[in-house]
Amino acid sequence: MIGQLRKLWVVILIFPLQLIAQNTEISLIPQPSKIQILQGELDLHQNFEAFLFEEFADLADLISEIPGVSLAKIETIKKVKKQHNIGIRLFKAKEYDQVAANGYLLEVDESGILLKANTKEGMISGIFTLVQLSYLADKQSIPYLRINDQPKFPYRGLHLDASSQYMPFDFMKKYIDLMALYKFNYFHWQLTGGAGWRIEIKKYPELTNKAAWRTHKDWTEWRNNGMQYISQGHPNASGGFYTQEQARELVDYAAKRGITIIPEIKIPGHTHEILAVYPELGCTTAENNPAVLCFGNEKSYEFLKNVLDEVIAIFPSRYIHIGGEQADTTSWKLCEKCQNLIKKDSLGSSSELQSLAIKQIEDYLITKDRNLIGWDDVLAHNVSKKAQIMVGKDIETAKNAASEDYKVIVSVEDFLNLSNYQKNPKEQQDIRGDYLPLEKVYSFNPMPKELPGEKKNNILGAQANLWSKQTPTFQEVEYMVYPRAIALSEVLWSNQELSTFSNFNKRLQQHYALLQKLQVNYYPPSFSVTTDITFDSLNRKNTVLLSSEQFTPKIRYTVDGSVPDKNSTLYNLPLELTQTSTIKAASFVDSVRVSEVEKIELDVHKAIGKEVKYLAPWDQTYAAQNVFTLTNGVKGGITLKDGQWQGFTKSLNAVIDFERREEISSIAMNFIQVRRQQVYFPEELIISISDNAKNYREIAVIKNQSLTADSALQYQKFELQLAKPVMARYIQVKAAIPDDKIILTDEIVVY
């Protein structure tokens, strides 16, 4: 009783300060809904008695896995008695506890640990909060506290493509462990997809005897060298598969940690590996497309149903993922069997044949008391409202699907494709996909704007995806997934209005140490200096913010053109500059420079604010600031789609009107190049001047100086320095663009 009164006294008098001051010290991620830090600590270095209600009895193993906790005994109980008031207790929540249906209540005090929940799902979440608390503790104790917590979204998922790269079975368990630690509850396990068949199917043994093995481990080398499969046991065989026993073991392992595994068997396209061993399931045409099953052939349906029967027997998940992306229908158009079926069923097109096939598979799953998940392409194929839609395109597609009463899992490419690179593009040797840093993942909101309130429940949650073509080892998988998955965990669990990225980032600092303890090969925060520049056109002033991915960066800079060293000015406030300037900045640890020097050129030039006439249109994908882009005083940044790089696909042909004749001594334009994304430097930039906008005089042809053909991000300034200034009212810049290429530029700088 005295202890309880003392605890109440502490809560009343200290709670407001404790909540603000100490909550940040307990760096839980995802952030709990409500947390109260109380006075005192519980020593974990003791033998606890554990009492579990019957419905939580099978969670005893999880309790015993809490780091640093020793159990003297574990007892299953039906009701609470006096002797159950100490130790570790897993009790059914009462109405007065005010615990959400899928939430938990955690109390730590002098009596021990009390966890309450309404469901096993909620109880598991509470246990993993304890696991985090133990991992994050500086010593063998955790603070007295009270947490009442619940998730924001019911679906919190991660995906892993095991088809493109086989991952060791032990790593799959580690992947599940990390998911559980951060309260994910769905694992989308892609087991097929063209690059390898990874799940044993006893009726079709060749799927794993041959289609699980290929001639090259590296996916790109395999693609470039014939995409050949090879029998298990061959000296060059690279790959692997999961036996049905292993898959069942992983299903059970995940379920004990509150995670449902959703298997993916991809159809109707991306089936290279199936047709490599069962070519009779492909279309019999001279121009056969080997990636698509023949759906005019009943044997294809028989094959898929037999496979699904065995998959369903392994995975208890209510939902089975079929992929369902739009297939290349070239072979169907030329296949006699497919065309006969199209005529027989009065189908209007090959697309309708895909709809028929997907519908048959969905109907078959329903007869097995299962439902279909597919990518948003399946919306075009008349799937039922029993299906879940995984939206990868954009948030607008998610909104439309939810408005039509489909259950939606948001998985949009721009925010949740972990195959996108995360390193500063200037450091990235190979630009694949788009730039997806940690902060951008954290900024994501799965709930579409303007979705009517009654439709919001149709948004189940979100999922981040990793397609493993470029991650051949589990270490590289970890590097791409963490810590970005940790950011998503908070997006899906916590109330975003109660936290900011800076607050999250502060808590994340302790999780780097946790990941080190768990031997996770995560992506470390970069020391590279990044800039955020705002130009005030009225006062012709640049405001420059310098930062890095470090939580407390130490950046030194110069404005005199010199390379910063340990004696250079330490950055602590935004820089305000009204003149043309060059800033050089770099990160330091103690007195040692630990990053490349970032050069920032600020041009307060003559063309700012002048009208630009476009004699050739810009590309709408890279519209940037429309007619204001090239003379708004703002340079492009480190990504192609930052809103300042304007793109041209036909030709660049633009004219600046100074409204009167001006003396011109130099003209320059910056261009960016990422060849893998078809963004190239122009071969040449032609500069001409005029006084009447009719008769132009060519004054320079500036040639491309870059001869490298790599896929890294590159910049180049095309610059004309006149030996003698000229007078002109108009300046024209022109560049021809090869077919299927695009050029991006940000500003026409004139002095």
Q: Examine residue 279 and state whether it is found in any structural domain, yes or no.
A: no
CATH number of domain containing 28: 3.30.379.10
Q: Examine residue 412 and state whether it is found in any structural domain, yes or no.
A: no
Residue 711 has pLDDT above 80, yes or no: no
Residues 597 and 724 in one domain: no
The phi and psi torsions of 375 (rounded to 5 degrees) equal: -65, 165
The whole-angstrom separation of Cα 639 and Cα 645 is: 9
Mean pLDDT calculated for residue range 340-354: 86
Q: Examine residue 35 and state whether it is found in any structural domain, yes or no.
A: yes
Residues 76 and 142 in one domain: yes
Neighbours of 513 (CB within 10 A): 12
Residues 579 and 689 in one domain: no
Cis omega before residue 483 (within 30°)?
A: yes
Q: Examine residue 730 and state whether it is found in any structural domain, yes or no.
A: yes
Range with lowest mean pLDDT among 13-27, 513-527, 724-738: 13-27
Residues 633 and 588 in one domain: no
Burial of 496 (0-12, 13-18, 19+ CB in 10 A): middle
CB 635 within 8 A of CB 624: no
Q: Examine residue 432 and state whether it is found in any structural domain, yes or no.
A: no
Mean pLDDT calculated for residue range 268-282: 91
Could you give the percent of the chain with pLDDT greater than 70? 96
The whole-angstrom separation of Cα 599 and Cα 605 is: 18
Where a domain ends, among 115, 149, 183?
A: 149
Mean pLDDT calculated for residue range 59-70: 91
Label residue 247 left, alpha or beta by phi (over 0 means left) and psi (-120 to 50 means alpha): alpha
Neighbours of 433 (CB within 10 A): 16
b/e map 394-417, b = 16+ CB within 10 Å? bbebbbbbbeeebbbbbbbbbbbb
Count of helix runs (H) and strand runs (E) in the chain:
18, 32
Q: Examine residue 21 and state whether it is found in any structural domain, yes or no.
A: yes
Q: Which domain holds residue 632?
A: 611-750
Residue 284 has pLDDT above 60, yes or no: yes
The whole-angstrom separation of Cα 122 and Cα 246 is: 27
Q: Examine residue 637 and state whether it is found in any structural domain, yes or no.
A: yes
Residue 23 has pLDDT above 80, yes or no: no
Q: How far is CA 399 from CA 351, 391, 447, 619, in A?
A: 24, 10, 8, 26
pLDDT band at 20 (very low <50, low <70, confident <90, very high): very low
The whole-angstrom separation of Cα 739 and Cα 742 is: 8
pLDDT band at 142 (very low <50, low <70, confident <90, very high): very high
CB 609 within 8 A of CB 537: yes
Q: Give per-residue pLDDT as tens, 373-423.
A: 999 999 999 899 999 999 999 999 999 999 999 999 999 999 999 999 999
DSSP 8-state class, residue 242: B
Residues 6 and 145 in one domain: yes
Strands 555-558 and 569-570: antiparallel
pLDDT band at 426 (very low <50, low <70, confident <90, very high): confident
Residue 2 has pLDDT above 70, yes or no: no
The pLDDT assigned to 328 comes to: 84
DSSP 8-state class, residue 350: H
Where a domain ends, among 149, 171, 200?
A: 149
Mean pLDDT computed over every residue of the chain = 92
Residues 597 and 632 in one domain: no
Q: How many domains does the chain have?
A: 3
The one-letter amino acid code at 235 reads P
Among residues 480, 493, 484, 470, the alpha carbon closest in space to that of 442 is found at 484
The pLDDT assigned to 329 comes to: 83
Q: Give per-residue pLDDT as tens, 443-477.
A: 999 999 999 999 999 999 999 999 999 999 999 99
Residues 45 and 72 in one domain: yes
Q: Give per-residue pLDDT as tens, 516-551.
A: 999 999 999 999 999 999 999 889 999 999 999 999
Where a domain ends, among 124, 149, 174?
A: 149
Residues 52 and 84 in one domain: yes
For residue 722 the two structure tokens come to 């006149």
The phi and psi torsions of 151 (rounded to 5 degrees) equal: -80, 155
DSSP-assigned states of every residue in 360-407: HHHHHHHHTT-EEEEEGGGGGGT--TTSEEEE-S-HHHHHHHHHTT-E
Q: How far is CA 205 from CA 91, 567, 674, in A?
A: 47, 68, 44
Residues 629 and 742 in one domain: yes
Residues 591 and 619 in one domain: no
Burial of 215 (0-12, 13-18, 19+ CB in 10 A): middle
CB 63 within 8 A of CB 127: yes
Q: Examine residue 559 and state whether it is found in any structural domain, yes or no.
A: yes
The whole-angstrom separation of Cα 354 and Cα 155 is: 28
Residues 30 and 138 in one domain: yes
Residues 7 and 145 in one domain: yes
The structure tokens 């996916």 sit at: 219
User: Beta-strand (E) ranges in 170-307?
Assistant: 186-190, 213-214, 238-239, 260-267
Q: 432-441 long-range CB contacts below 8 Å, 24 or more apart?
A: 432/470, 432/676, 432/711, 434/639, 434/640, 434/641, 435/638, 435/639, 436/484, 437/549, 438/483, 438/484, 438/487, 438/525, 438/549, 439/487, 439/501, 440/415, 441/415, 441/416, 441/484, 441/487, 441/488, 441/491
pLDDT band at 290 (very low <50, low <70, confident <90, very high): low
CATH number of domain containing 739: 2.60.120.260
